[in-house]
Amino acid sequence: MIEPRTMATAGLHDAYGRRIDYLRLSVTDRCDLRCSYCLPKGFDGYAEPEDWLTFDEIARVVAAFASLGVQRFRLTGGEPLMRRRLPSLVERLSAIGGVRDLSLSTNGTQLARHAAALRQAGLTRLNVSLDSLDKGCMREVTGRDSLDAVIAGLMAGKAAGLAPIKLNMVLMRGVNDGEVERMAAFCFEHGFILRLIEVMPMGERGRNAHYLPVSAVLPGLIARFGLAPSARELGGGPARYWQTPDGQGQLGVITPISQHFCATCNRVRLSVEGTLYLCLGQEDKVALRPLLRAGCDDAELCAAIVAAIRRKPEKHHFVEAPAKIVRFMSQTGG
């Protein structure tokens, strides 16, 4: 296993001077939901299991990124809890030197069964997708009656001591925009952090997902809950945070379309097949699996990662060319 090296102190930088310290890592492209902005009905273009990175290969990639100064790692999908023995992978990754922050993004449907094991294995925090507190709306958005399972997962994560738990709500005009205040009140009551996210036009489903800017709902939330801007750093991502007057309730907003944050982008994504995607809104990518399966050594793997990061684009083109990205979010890795 690669050990953190002196070069890690300098960090990993792209051609625009941005420090890359966050890898989002897909462990499966399967999902038990069919969210309207993510996967089309009837989609079956999944990667074959033999093409998935093995746990050994995932650990090698994480160790390589950690040796280059990347400290934050998030397991994503698809739905990552559909990957068998995921807690054992969490245990392996959390033990790698240089891994300071290991988290998980999930739709929450299977979280109640796995939360305690994940926490024991070394997972620290969670992002859970929940777009509505209305059963009918959740059925419409996710394709199944999923609300009760997600709520149970949230409560199990809280009971297991995973913190913070961020609740991701994708805003959709005419679908869930009337529920934002109710969702905020729910999160503030239970100690969850609500994050409002603008839908991104990835694939045909994403381009037809009733885009709504955060600015359409934020003023009402500020007035209703007395929110003020917060300077707290909560996970190293692109969210800008607001807080309640007592500082206990936190609200994050993620605005990739209306106010993009490309100039401070600090992340790349690795698909389940080992393809390193350098930007959600571009097609720039580098395949790492062929290197791994050809028997590359640690130095070659690190060199390939460094060269890939130098190719990271300056910004996405979601606004200028919304039809450019044809892959779905689940194929990219969360």
CA atoms lying within 13 Å on the CB side of residue 88? 6
* Residue 49 placed within a domain: yes
Give the separation between CA 161 and CA 149, rounded to whole angstroms: 19
The residue range of the domain holding 16 is 6-332
What CATH number corresponds to the domain at position 217?
Answer: 3.20.20.70
Mean predicted lDDT score pLDDT of the chain: 90
Query: pLDDT confidence of 283, banded at 50, 70, 90?
Result: confident
* Residue 292 placed within a domain: yes
* Residue 40 placed within a domain: yes
* Residue 181 placed within a domain: yes
- Domain count of the fold of the chain: 1
* Element spanning 170, H or E: strand 165-171
Strand 275-277 with 22-26, pairing: unpaired
Region 286-293: mean pLDDT is 98
Conformational region of residue 249, where left means phi above 0, alpha means psi within -120 to 50, and beta covers everything else: beta
Count of C-beta atoms within a 10 Å radius of residue 3: 12
* Residue 136 placed within a domain: yes
* Residue 1 placed within a domain: no
Taking only the tens place, the pLDDT of each residue in 111-165 is 999 999 999 999 999 999 999 999 999 999 999 999 999 999 999 999 999 999 9
Q: Is 203 exposed, middle or buried (0-12, 13-18, 19+ CB in 10 A)?
A: buried
Strand 22-26 with 228-230, pairing: unpaired
pTM, to two decimals: 0.90
Query: pLDDT confidence of 240, banded at 50, 70, 90?
Result: very high
Q: Residue 238 has what pLDDT? A: 81
